[in-house]
Amino acid sequence: MTEATVGEFTTRASSINRALDQIGDKWCLLIIQEVLWGINSFNEMMAAMGVSRGVLSNRLKWLQEVGCLRREEGVAGSHRPRYHLTSKSIALYDCAMMAITWERDWYQTPALDRVELVHLPCAKPFVAQLRCACCDALVCLRDVSYQPGPGATRDVREKKVRRRSSIAITEVRSEHALYRNLINVVGDRWTSNLIALSFHGLTRFEQFHQELPVATNILSDRLKLLVEEGVLEQVVYQQRPLRYEYHLTEKGQGLFPWFLTLLQWGDTWCDPQGRGKPMQVTHNPCGEQLQAQVHCSECHGVLKAHEVRFTLDGEDMNP
C-alpha cells in the first residue's frame, strides 16, 4: 500500500477524525492488537501479520511519532528492539472491548470463538457493554444528540491518495486479530468517515461529498463496500431519475459504541492545543453530557484491563 499527500482540506474539528488520522489505518489497528498480545519485535509482527517489511516499518515509525508505541532497544543479549504500548495506546482498551462485542454480534470469527473473556471480580465470562456513567442506561445511537463544544473549529487535514492494499484484512494470518472484520470495515479513511457522518444523520451522496473532498468514484466505491458489508442499506427516495439514500442498518448502528469510545479517546489524547472537546455528546434520557463507560454484562462493574482475563482454548493468554 502506498500513499501520497496531494494537498490539504479542512473539516469540522472532530475527535473521531483526529483519532482516525492517528490510528485509523488497518495496519496501525492490527499492530496495536499484536503488541497488546505481547507480539512486539519486528520479525514476530511481520510473521504474525503477513505484512511487508516496508509497510510495517512505516507504520511502526508513525505509531511512535503519534505516541502510541515506545521502542525499547535490545536488552539481555538481544539486538532486536521491542515495541511497547504507551499510556495513550493502553487507553484504547475500551475501544478494543467494544470492537470484540460488535464482532461477536455480527460475525462467526473462529479465532474469537476460541477466546473467552472472564471478568475477575465476578469470575464470569461476559460481554462488554457501553453504559452512561450518569444514568447507567445502555448507550445507543438514537439516544444521543450533538452540540459544538469549546474546541469547535475546523481542522486542516492532509488529503491523501492511498492505493488500496491488495491484501484483504480477512486474509491476514494473525490469530490475535480478534476483530478483523471491524478493522476491515473501519480501517480505511473514507469508510470510517462515512460511518461517522451517518451517525450525524447524513444519508445522501451529495451530503457526504460536501463533507469529504474525495473523488466521486472513490466515494461511490466506499459506499458500495459499506452496502456489501451490510453496514449501510440503499433506500430509494426518488424515482426519476432513480436516487438512493444510504441508511445505517442495525449492524451499522451497532458500530456506534466503538466510535463513541474512539471519540472519547480522541477527546483525551488527540487535542494537542488543549482547546477542549470539539463536540459535546448529550445523552437524551438523562440530559447530561455523555460519559460512556464499558461495563461487564454479568455484574455491571466497570471493566478495567487488569481485571479481565483472556483465555484461548482454556489457556491463559494474558501477556
For the window 289-308, what string marks contact with Zn ion as x by the rule CB under 5 A?
Answer: -------x-xx-x-------
Residue whose CB is less far from Zn ion, 132 or 226: 132
140 vs 299, which CB is nearer to Zn ion? 299
- Based on the shown chain and the rule CB under 5 A, indicate whether residue 152 belongs to the binding site for Zn ion: no
Q: Which is nearer to Zn ion, 134 or 225 (CB)?
A: 134
Nearer of residues 212 and 303 to Zn ion, judged by Cβ: 303
Q: Give whichever of 241 and 287 is closer to Zn ion, judged by the CB atom.
A: 287
Question: From the list 104, 189, 277, 283, which residue makes contact with Zn ion (rule: CB under 5 A)?
Answer: 283
Residue-wise DSSP of 176-201: T-TTHHHHHHHSSHHHHHHHHHHHTT
- The helix (run of H) or strand (run of E) holding residue 250 is helix 250-253
Residue 139's SS3 state is coil
Q: Site for Zn ion (CB under 5 A): how many residues?
A: 11
- Strand 232-238 with 292-296, pairing: unpaired
Minimum CB–partner distance for residue 160 and Zn ion (Å): 38
Binding mask 153-192 toward Zn ion (x if CB under 5 A, else -) reads ----------------------------------------
- Smallest gap from Cβ 134 to Zn ion, in A, equals 4
* 106 within 8 A of 264, measured Cβ to Cβ: no
Min CB(146)–Zn ion separation in Å: 15
Residues 95 and 185: their CA atoms lie apart, in Å, by: 15
Contact pick of 286, 307, 309, 310 for Zn ion (by CB under 5 A)? 286
Q: Which is nearer to Zn ion, 90 or 135 (CB)?
A: 135
In the window 114-143, what residues touch Zn ion (CB under 5 A)? 119, 122, 132, 134-135
Measured CA to CA in angstroms, residue 140 lies from 32, 40, 182, 231 at distances of 26, 35, 18, 16
Written as nine digits, the cell of 9 is: 482540506
- Residue 68 is given by DSSP the state S
Which residues, listed in sequence order, are joined to residue 95 by a DSSP beta bridge? none
Number of helical (H) and strand (E) elements in the chain, helices listed first: 13, 15
Nearest-approach distance from CB 234 to Zn ion, in angstroms: 33
CB 33 within 8 A of CB 177: yes
Instruction: Give me the residues that bind Zn ion (CB under 5 A), please.
Output: 119, 122, 132, 134-135, 283, 286, 296, 298-299, 301
